[in-house]
Each structure stands twice: as C-alpha cells, then as structure tokens.
C-alpha cells in the first residue's frame, strides 16, 4: 500500500468539531487505485467508516472500532465531462465544486458553496443549503463495494429523501457526474459570493462546529424553535448553542464529544417540552462512549 496506515489514531484533529476518540486504524489513501487495493485487503467482518472533512459528524470520546478511511486531500479530481456535466471525486470540498462549476458557466450547483464538507459526504446525506439539494443535480455516481470493485449507479438505485440516502448494497461513494445547465458566469459567481456572505453573516464560521445539528421540521426551522425555547448561549461543559445561529452547537475550546451529545439531547428535550416538536438530528453520531476524566 502506498497510503498511510495509522494505528490507534485520535480523530479529534480530523473533525470540524475538534472532538473524537481514537480509531483502531485510520487509512489515508495515496490515490484511487491505492484505495481500491486497500479495501480489498480488509476482512469481510471489518467495520469500515469513511470520512472527508469531518463536518456533520460527531465521533464519541471512545472512538471508532474497525477501520476509518479518510479522503481529505485525496480523491480530488474534478473536470468537465461534456453535455453540461461535471465529474467530481468524493474528496473534493463542496465549496470548490460550486466555484469550479460557476467558472465553467454551469449553473445549479451554487448552493454547494454553503456546505462545509466534501462531495462524498454531500452524496451520503443529500446535503443541502440555501434551498438546493445535492441529489437534485446527480446524473450518475461511482461506488466502491467491500470487495474493492467500482460500479456505476443511477439515482433511481437509491432511496433519496431530505438529508437521507439509502442503498440496499454495502458500498461507498467514489465520484459523481453532476447534471447542470449552461448559464451566465458572472451571475453564477455573484450568487456564490452572496451565499458566502450570508453564511458568514448568519453562521458561526469562526468557531468549531459541525454545521447544522438538527433537521428542519416540515414547514418550520430548527433554529427558530431552539431560539423560541430560549436556548441560545446555553452551554454544557465546553459545548454551547451558538448565539449567532441556534441550529449550531460550537466548541468553545474544551468540549468533549459527551458535552456535545448531552447538549443535543437537552435541546431536543426542551424544544419538545416548550414547542411540542421532536427535533431529529442531521449530524451523524458514531463511535463508542467512554468515561472522560477531567484534568
């Protein structure tokens, strides 16, 4: 293998919340071929977890058993594919995709500028921002299965819904062909600038967070419900409901994953009591709990 295999690697530095215990082993592939070869070496019984930029992800303090594959800085090919289509590998940050498409005079991908993750993560959860959703612009995807085989799949092969994508197969996203439309370059770039300015103005982009924590209930907004409950600024340990945007929980410096998860549960409890709405998490919570001893 040409990639890096790290044993008992702490995952906090790989997540946007800056929390998370160790993985039994973490693999950082050299390139796509190396990744496929590595996957083939794993036993059928080996648990495998994929991560990119580590946003929309809470890894518990006990860490992850099995193998974690990190595509950050890898699987980064992006190119025009003809007929207003763009080919993007799973490790490319969504913001880069939005900018590239705009520069090529292709529209409909501008919303990706507001998603703080990679295309792989966006495909996995049907990520959305500012009214757009990932799978609305998906033409085809490339997936890798547990045997290291790569296959082409169509959108109808998946059950896609709000912030959820389900497949009957054990496989992971490697790349996507985006279906876009020709448009005005300057208008597209202006839209991206406006979206980024809105994001900076309304979200705590200068503090460690995961992005939006809760899904928006139908016909409402999680942030509005949390704010109405009076929870802006409420903290448990080093985890705090953002004063800037109530659907964000920020790490004020010394949060543990347990602090964040406890705060998520507290917010759910209080919003249910106060507003009668059961908030569902958008963030993916994985790994094992452990007893954290304060220094």
**Complete DSSP assignment for 253-281:** SS--HHHHHHHHHHHHHHHHHHH---PPB
Active site residue 212: yes
Q: What is the DSSP letter of 32?
A: H
Q: In what helix (H) or strand (E) does residue 198 lie, and over which residues does it extend?
A: helix 185-202
Active site residue 55: no
| Sign of the dihedral defined by the CA atoms of residues 251, 252, 253, 258, in that order | negative
Q: Single out the residue of 264, 281, 282, 272 nearest to residue 228, CA to CA.
A: 272
Which residue's structure tokens are 């959703």? 133
The whole-angstrom separation of Cα 128 and Cα 16 is: 18
The whole-angstrom separation of Cα 283 and Cα 211 is: 8
Residues 55, 188, 209, 212: which is the catalytic one? 212
Residue 221, sorted as left (phi over 0), alpha (psi -120 to 50) or beta, turns out to be: beta
Tokens of 257: 């994953």
Residues 163, 171, 209, 242: which is the catalytic one? 163
Please name the residue ranges forming H helices in the chain: 32-41, 94-103, 119-125, 185-202, 222-228, 257-275
Cα 135 to the center of its chain, rounded Å: 14
Strand, coil or helix: 202: helix
The whole-angstrom separation of Cα 54 and Cα 41 is: 25
Active site residue 161: no
Active site residues: 163, 212, 282
């Amino acid at each position: 293998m040409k990639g890096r295999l790290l044993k008992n690697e702490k995952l906090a530095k790989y997540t946007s919340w800056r929390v998370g215990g160790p993985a039994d082993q973490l693999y950082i592939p050299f390139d796509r071929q190396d990744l496929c070869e590595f996957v083939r070496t794993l036993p059928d019984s080996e648990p495998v977890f994929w991560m990119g930029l580590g946003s929309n992800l809470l890894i518990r303090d006990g860490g992850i058993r099995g193998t974690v594959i990190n595509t950050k800085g890898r699987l980064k090919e992006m190119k025009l594919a003809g007929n207003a289509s763009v080919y993007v590998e799973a490790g490319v940050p969504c913001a880069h995709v939005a900018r590239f498409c705009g520069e090529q005079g292709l529209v409909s991908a501008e919303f990706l500028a507001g998603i703080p993750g990679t295309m792989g993560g966006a495909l996995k959860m049907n990520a959305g921002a500012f009214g757009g959703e990932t799978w609305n612009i998906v033409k085809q995807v490339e997936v890798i299965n547990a045997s290291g085989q790569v296959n082409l799949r169509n959108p109808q092969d998946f059950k896609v819904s709000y912030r959820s994508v389900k497949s009957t197969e054990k496989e992971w996203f490697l790349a996507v062909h985006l279906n876009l439309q020709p448009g005005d370059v300057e208008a597209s770039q202006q839209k991206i600038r406006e979206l980024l300015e809105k994001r900076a103005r309304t979200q705590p982009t200068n503090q460690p967070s995961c992005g939006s924590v809760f899904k928006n209930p139908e016909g409402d907004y999680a942030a509005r419900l949390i704010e109405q409950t009076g929870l802006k600024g409420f903290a448990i340990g080093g985890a705090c409901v953002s004063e800037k945007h109530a659907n964000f929980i920020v790490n004020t410096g010394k949060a543990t994953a347990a602090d964040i998860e406890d705060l998520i549960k507290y917010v759910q409890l209080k919003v249910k009591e106060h507003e009668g709405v059961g908030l569902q998490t958008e963030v993916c919570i994985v790994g094992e709990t452990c007893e954290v001893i304060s220094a």
